[in-house]
Structure 1
Amino acid sequence: MAIHNKVISVIGAQGGSVVRSLIQNPQFEVRCITRNKSSPQAKELALLGASVVQADTTNTAVLEQALSGSWGLFMNVLTEETTLDVGTQQGIGMLASAAAAGVKHVVYSSAPHSERLTSGTCLAKHLDVKARIECWGRANPSFETFTPVMISWYMDNFCNPDFGMFFGGFPFKKDEDGVLTCRMPLSGGDETLPWLHVENDFGDIVHGIFLNPQRWNQRVIQCTGDLLSWEGIVSAFTKGTGQKARFQPYMLVSDMPTHGWEGIRELFVYSQLRDGEYFGNAPNEVSTAQYLKTAAFKAKGGKGRESLTTVKEFFEQKEVLRVVLENQW
């Protein structure tokens, strides 16, 4: 008899990766909850075998009905375009709907509590919305297990021209010297950052948690596939693509252009105050994510790859080079 593991997701890099992994395990049935079941992403996941339910996730009664019969829930909320209070209440409302629907096992895409971890020195709103929602979920006795997962910097964003502006144009726009120059503030500590190939690896990490939710109950999971500095990023890019690149840091966080999103500066202020330790529960590490990736690999019958993607391997993919070349200007 199949365990009914129902998935709620913001259809995109996180939710889509989770669905694509879980759908390969016959132990689970996957239900995607989306605002628009006619979207290309929703249709793609339906073709893979997931059931797709359209629901307004801000309507607690509607969401409770959509979650009815669910054994487990993966939940991600978008926090960049909301206020601290509104975003927190919306996320808590979603978890309240899950509790009312009888969901027992929750894997929640969270973030470090910047205000708490820096004793009030820094408040990165887009992080703290998620962290405040996490606090409510952890304390809810209706859930048998509640596991916060914290995602790293997306390797995938190096294939998204919209994100190039945050990296100083890298890897799409050359500077006045004709060089692809990555520009970001320093991160603190030894300057290594956590990275993840979200499309390939995030879903398997979440999958691994659902295989044994009691094992990971209340434990923050660092979703990290590689640890690398910005210098290491441009070096891996050059080796993988053959294109010349360099890193030039902003010496002050305030020197970094925000392009309308102040949260990017707040992220670096937080990181520097923590000496580069991003997640808040322990130094950045890869071993836990690899353990979960391996568990999912076995549960899928050996489909896909067992090891996490490194930054070097990411840039060596022909598809990455194709996207970069097609969008360079």
Structure 2
Amino acid sequence: MAKLIVIIGITGNQGGSVANVFLNDSQWRIRGLTRDTTSTASKELTDKGVEMVQADLHDPSTLVPAFKGANLIFSVTDFWKPFFNLANLERAAKEGISIGQLCYNLEYEQGKNIADAAAHPDVLATLGETGLIASTLSNARECSKAKYQDLYHFDSKADVFPKYLEAQHPELLKKTSCLQTGFFMTSWHYMPHRWPGKQADGSFMARMATAPDALVPHLDVRADTGYYVKALAQMPPGKTAMAAGEWCSWTQWMEGWAKGMGIDPAKVGYEQVSVEEMSEGMGAFGKEVAEMYEYTTWPGYDGGLPMLTGEDLRKMGYEIPLTTVEEYTKKEDWSLALNM
């Protein structure tokens, strides 16, 4: 009988990529978790043979039944959707905390609930040698020696995967591997004025708080994530990998984008700005976002910690596409950036 993978957030970018990869492997069947099984995306997955199940990451009672029988769980939590929900600014103000702290609390709760459910004896009993693969990030507070106290979307993941597991669920930890995800190549959609950054004279200039020569992991999240999960699923547990198609500086990112667009490289550039300059005009969201870019300079997006790369996994015989910025650029619709 085919093994069962449960994919959390299957209609999102990461979960959707995992589903696409595992759908092509007859050794696996897929159960997808979603808040709305009647959505168009859910129905399309059902038509492809995915068992769609309603579950709420903030309601632990829905998770144990959803996980039962699983051989592998892919965990992904959500910081940014509530972060960009303007209603949460009012909620945070009422609670006397920042929007970042509120969203940390919400994402931490999601991760804790996932971990608690996966550690339930009825679930743990069926999980494979590698039974949980958690999408996470480096712990910015620890890796920066407390320089960065407010990179909540890093710490809300790392404080659960692996820290909460280490403290509360050591048996589940023994079956866990972690997948860190690089900068999503799709993230420009949120700040097209930052990058590619069309200028009045028709040139393009990206301005962020990262040093121009700092290497950054960039990921085509919709295309490549699933291959990393598939590779980790075939390896012994206890691994950490960085999902990235290309490691390059933002200067090189702009050059790769220019090649993909067929634009004269002399018409693109990159400039490092301060956290304060990058935060300007971004309201309550600015500090969280700008400090992430500065953190990428030091200690590094990966926290300066050793972990497996896509190249490492390729050398070990695993299929990893390694989509470059230039390749991603050629298949993307850039009208939002070009028509500004």
**TM-score normalised by L of structure 1:** 0.84
> Which range moved further: 255-264 or 146-155?
255-264
Specify whether residues 326 and 113 from structure 1 end up closer, same or farther in structure 2 by C-alpha distance, changes over 3 A only.
closer
Matched with 1:17 is 17
Alignment of 1:110-149 (within 5 A): 110-123=136-149, 124-134=151-161, 135-139=163-167, 140-143=169-172, 144-149=174-179
- Counterpart secondary structure, 2:271: coil
Structure 2 segments unaligned to the other structure (5+ residues)? 84-101
Kindly provide the CA deviation profile for residues 136-194 of structure 1, in whole angstroms up to 9, marking residues without a partner as x. 13452342411111000112334x3x3414xx2x33x6222222222212247x42211
Distance in 2 between the 1:279 and 1:18 partners? 25
1:152 is aligned to: 182
Tell me, yes or no, if structure 1 residue 87 matches structure 2 residue 114.
no
TM-score by length of 2: 0.81
Contact 2:254 2:270 (C-alpha < 8 Å) held by counterparts: no
Encode CA deviations 1:242-280: one digit per residue, 9 max, x unaligned: 235422323312110362423211212322331x35343
Q: Which moved more, 1:131-140 or 1:194-203?
A: 131-140
Counterpart AA for 1:247: G
Q: What corresponds to 1:209 in structure 2?
A: 232
Separation of aligned partners in 1, 2:307 and 2:59: 38
Partner of 2:277: 255
| Preserved contact between residue 17 and residue 198 of structure 1 (Cα < 8 Å) | yes
1:233 aligns with one of 239, 246, 253 = 253
1:324 aligns with 334
Aligned partners of 2:307, 2:111: CA distance in 1, in Å? 27
- Structure 1 CA distance for aligned equivalents of residues 175 and 159 of structure 2: 18
Q: Is the 8 A contact 2:73 2:133 kept in 1?
A: yes
RMSD of Structure 2 on Structure 1 (CA) = 2.3
* Distance in 1, Cα, partners of 2:198 & 2:289: 22
Structure 2 Cα separation of the partners of residues 62 and 37 of structure 1: 14
- Alignment-derived partner of residue 107 in structure 1: 133
Q: Is there any run of 5+ residues in structure 1 with no aligned partner, and where?
A: 298-305
Looking at structure 2, the residues matched to 282 and 254 of structure 1 have their Cα atoms a distance apart, in angstroms, of: 30
CA distance in 2, matches of 1:125, 1:277: 14
Aligned partners of 2:142, 2:104: CA distance in 1, in Å? 14
Q: Distance in 1 between matches of 2:17 and 2:52?
A: 15
For 1:273, the aligned partner's letter is: W
The equivalent position to 1:280 in structure 2, one of 297, 304, 324, is 304
SS at match of 2:242: strand
- Are the counterparts in 1 of residues 206 and 270 from structure 2 also a CA contact under 8 Å? yes
Matched, 1:181 2:205: yes
Paired with 1:219 and 1:202, the residues of 2 have a C-alpha distance of: 16
Partner letter of residue 310 of structure 1? T
Aligned-pair identity (%):
23
- 2:209/2:291 contact within 8 Å kept: no
1:21 to partner: Cα distance? 0.6
* SS of residue paired to 1:150: strand
Q: 1:184 to 1:9 in 2, by over 3 A?
A: same
Count residues with an aligned counterpart: 304
Counterpart-to-counterpart distance in 2, 1:72 and 1:283:
21
Distance in 2, matches of 1:291 and 1:200, equals 20
CA contact (8 A) 1:186 1:272 kept: yes
Cα offset for 1:285?
A: 4.4
Give the partner amino acid of 2:233: F
How far, CA to CA, are the matches of 1:50 and 1:136 in structure 2?
Answer: 30
- SS of the equivalent of 1:133 reads helix
